[in-house]
Amino acid sequence: MNHPKMRYTYVGIDSHKGTHTAVFLDCFFDKLGEIVFNNRPSAFRKFLSGAEKLKIDGTELLFGLEDASAFGRRLLIYLKDNGQLVKHVNAFLVAQERKNQNITEKSDSVDAECAARVLLSKFDKLPDAEPYDKYWILRTLVVRRDFIIRSNISLKNHLHNLLTQHYPNYRSFFENIDCDTSLAFFSRYPSPSTLKDVTVEELTALLKEHSHKIVGEEKAREILDSLEDTEVKFQEIRDTTVQSTIRQIQFNLKEVKQLEDSLATFLARFDCPLTSMAGLDVVSAAQFLSCIGDIKRFESPAKLARYAGIAPITYASGQKDKKYSNQRPGFDTCTLRNGVNQVKYHSKKRELSLGACF
């Protein structure tokens, strides 16, 4: 009877934005051929036809994708729709295989062949590659929100540098530079020179309008009484820069609000109890789910903890037994690990049990 590994022709694929490289191996690790094709749906049919020609008679094609969620996602969907067997080959395993083979060079062909070798040696242990459409869309929303948040941090630092030149003591006016009231004030009055003819009543009206009447005349008098002459040459250009930065921050804040509303709406499509836990809001729950994917692919909470990189690793030799932190977390789990730490911080009396995800 033939060995199970003799049933397949193994295809390792290294995916990129422009092109994909596929290397074909038989069950004895001998290279059968290589195909480079464009990352376009119109090129996938020709690739699959070429793959059939390189396939060993009497075997099935077994594909291994290192990237199943970004550049290789369209190819994965095409292969699955056409009834092909596709496995996800972790990038760490590909890099480890390249190291084990003592290969000093790195190229698309080498990475594809290493992916095929990992596929051949570990095909019964590798997970099936799945598009996970809902989780992919959720991840898209999460990544977009995180990108805007990081962008706003840079903008706030830039605004801080600008305002320090105009209002050296501006932090005594407003505790948060990006609250509605402070943004409205600095947008209207980007420098002390723009406040020269402003009365207490005018400034009070502005502060009350944007703070929902939380601050008013007292804050207005405090600001006007502490003004210093900081006007320099080309002050109007510096004022324009402040106002432009504030408009961008305000736009980003609106975008974040819209994305969070979309996250809340889309999260309702999941049977997710995470938001019922102390310390977890919609954004945190969405970050967890977008990194974890389908929870059913984990057989136990322990395996999920291992994937997240928060389970200890045992190093044992003889009678010595030590445990260390996991320095090799699963694919794209930084958000998941940070989320666990965040929950532990906000909920000191209750630690997150990953079993709640099941």
10 Å CB burial of residue 178 (0-12, 13-18, 19+) is middle
Q: How far apart are CA 326 and CA 200, in angstroms?
A: 59
Classified as helix, coil or strand, 313 is strand
Domain ranges of the chain: 4-131, 135-264, 270-357
Q: How far apart are CA 165 and CA 167, in angstroms?
A: 6
Two structure tokens written together for 272: 């997710």
Instruction: Identify which has the larger pLDDT, 344 or 190.
Output: 190
Mean pLDDT of the residues in the chain: 85
Indicate if the pLDDT at residue 288 is higher than 70.
yes
Indicate if the pLDDT at residue 230 is higher than 80.
no
Q: Summarize pLDDT for 126-162 with one digit per residue, the tens.
A: 988 888 888 889 999 999 999 999 999 999 999 999 9
Whether the full predicted model's pTM is greater than 0.85, yes or no, is no
Instruction: Identify which has the larger pLDDT, 1 or 117.
Output: 117
Q: What angle do CA 252, 332, 157 make, to 5 degrees?
A: 30
Q: Does the domain spanning 4-131 belong to CATH 3.30.420.40?
A: yes
Contact 294, 306 (CB under 8 A): no
H-only helix segments in the chain = 41-54, 73-81, 91-100, 108-122, 133-166, 180-188, 200-211, 217-225, 235-267, 282-292, 301-308, 334-346
Q: How many CA atoms lie within 13 A of 288 on its CB side?
A: 28
Q: How confident is the model at residue 328 (pLDDT cuts 50, 70, 90)?
A: low
Q: How far apart are CA 84 and CA 51, in angstroms?
A: 11
**Architecture (CATH level 2) of domain 135-264:** Orthogonal Bundle (1.10)
Going 213 to 218 to 221 to 222, the CA torsion angle's sign is negative
Residue in 335, 331, 333, 339 with CA at minimum distance from that of residue 356: 339
209-213, 226-230, 281-285: least confident range: 226-230
Q: Summarize pLDDT for 91-138 with one digit per residue, the tens.
A: 889 999 999 988 888 899 999 999 999 999 998 889 888 888 888 899
Q: How far apart are CA 59 and CA 299, in angstroms?
A: 31
Two structure tokens written together for 1: 């009877």
Going 175 to 262 to 77 to 304, the CA torsion angle's sign is positive
Q: Report the pLDDT value the prediction gives residue 174, as an integer from 0 to 100.
A: 85
Q: How far apart are CA 203 and CA 187, in angstroms?
A: 13
Q: How far apart are CA 231 and CA 193, in angstroms?
A: 6
Backbone angles phi, psi at 125, to 5 degrees: -105, -15
Q: Report the pLDDT value the prediction gives residue 345, as an integer from 0 to 100.
A: 37
Q: How far apart are CA 348 and CA 69, in angstroms?
A: 35
Q: Summarize pLDDT for 39-82 with one digit per residue, the tens.
A: 999 999 999 999 999 999 999 999 999 888 789 999 999 999 99
